[in-house]
Structure 1
Amino acid sequence: MANIESLVNKIIEDAQREADSIVSIAQDKKSKMINIEKEKAEAEKDEILAKAKIEAQTRKERVISNAKLQVRNNKLQAKQEVMDRVFEIALEQLRNLPCDMFSKFVKTSVMSSDVDGNEKIIVNEKYKSKFNDELMNDINNSLKETGKVSNVDLSVETRDIKDGFILAKKGIELNYTFEDLMNSIREDIEGDILAVLFE
């Protein structure tokens, strides 16, 4: 009986050792698996953080770039508005030239054109009074002095133009309206005006 008891105890001890060994191996496996999963989680966390950092930097650069672009566009718009206003003021000043300066402008324009001397000057109804006999005689006398026909006169036809005049002959018209003259020189002088206004 003692032998059986001893044998049972031995079997129990062996079984306990075996169980302890299995539990120990399982604990080791569990620890290793936990460590592997922790390492994976850390790696994923680092990758997510790195991506988030890159994305945040990209967003930051995009926001800064958009802000710079907006500032540039606002500056360009402001410059354009100032430029438009400068030309509006210049046009208004041309439209309000004193009679003697307007007469000089007309005479200089006609004389510097390739005219024969028998052209018609077309204006709007309001401007007819500016082209008085004195101005027309002055133009024709100057043409005569250069050896040209001196028969430039005011057309009975009027046009819906705001200012200035049109010099016409045989279907060819030279536009001397202030708005047209201003538009033709604007492209040439905008750069100079911008340089003066926005140094």
Structure 2
Amino acid sequence: MAKIDGLINKILEDAEAERDIILKKAEAESNAIIKNKIDEAKEVGSRIIEKANIEAGLNRERIISNTTLKVRNEKLVAKQKVMSDVFNEALDELCAMSKESFLNYLKATIISLKIDGDEEIILNIKGREFVDGTVIAELNNEFMSMNKQGNLRISERIGGFKGGFILEKNGIEINNTFEALINSYRDELEFEIADILFN
């Protein structure tokens, strides 16, 4: 019996030793699995943080870019308004021209044009107050001295423009209004005026 008890004890000791080995191995594997999962979680967390930082940087750049563009557009709108104000002021000054200055402008412009001398002059209300039969007679005499028809006349039509005049013949108009004059020079002068105003 003693041999059996010894054998049983030996089996029990071996089983306990085997159990301890299995438990240690299971604990080591468990720790390794836990460590791997923690490392994976850290890596995933790092990637999430890195991605969030990249997105935050892109959002920041986008916001800065949009803000810069908005500021640039607002400055451009403000500059364009100032430019428009400058041209409107120039138009107002032309429209405020004295009678003598207007008549000198009208005569010089009409005489310098390559026309036949039998056109109608369309004027606004103020222009009609300035231009009378004497002015028309002077122009017609000038045309006749240039071997042209000398049959210029004031149109019954009143122009809806701010200043200047329009010459009309057979439905064809030569626009000499101050608005047209300002617009014709606007593209040419905008760069120079912007340079003076903003630099």
Q: What is the TM-score of this pair, normalised by structure 2? A: 0.91
Alpha-carbon distance in 2 for matches of 1:97, 1:76: 32
CA distance in 2, matches of 1:97, 1:129: 13
- TM-superposed CA distance for 1:35, in Å, is 1.8
Q: Which residue of 2 aligns with 1:102?
A: 102
Moved over 6 A (4+): none
Moved more, 121-130 or 35-44: 121-130
Pairing of 1:29-178 with structure 2 (within 5 A): 29-178=29-178
* Superposition TM-score, scaled by structure 1 size: 0.91
* Identical-pair percentage: 40
Q: Which moved more, 1:177-186 or 1:145-154?
A: 145-154
1:180 matched to which residue of 2?
180
- 1:170 Cα deviation from its structure 2 partner: 2.5
Alignment-derived partner of residue 191 in structure 1: 191
1:23 to partner: Cα distance: 0.1
The alpha carbon displacement at 1:150 in A equals 2.5
For residues 38-68 of structure 1, the C-alpha deviation after alignment (integer angstroms, 9 at most, x for no partner) is 2211221222122122111111111111111
Q: What one-letter code is carried by the residue in structure 2 that aligns with 1:51?
A: K
Q: 2: CA distance between counterparts of 1:192 and 1:143?
A: 38
Contact 2:161–2:179, Cα closer than 8 Å, also in 1: no
1:126 is displaced (CA, Å) by 4.2
Give the root-mean-square deviation of aligned CA atoms: 1.8
Q: Gapped runs of 5+ residues in structure 2?
A: none
User: Which letter maps to 1:115?
Assistant: I
AA in 2 matched with 1:16: E
Deviation at residue 148 of structure 1 after TM alignment: 2.6
Gaps of 5+ in 1: none
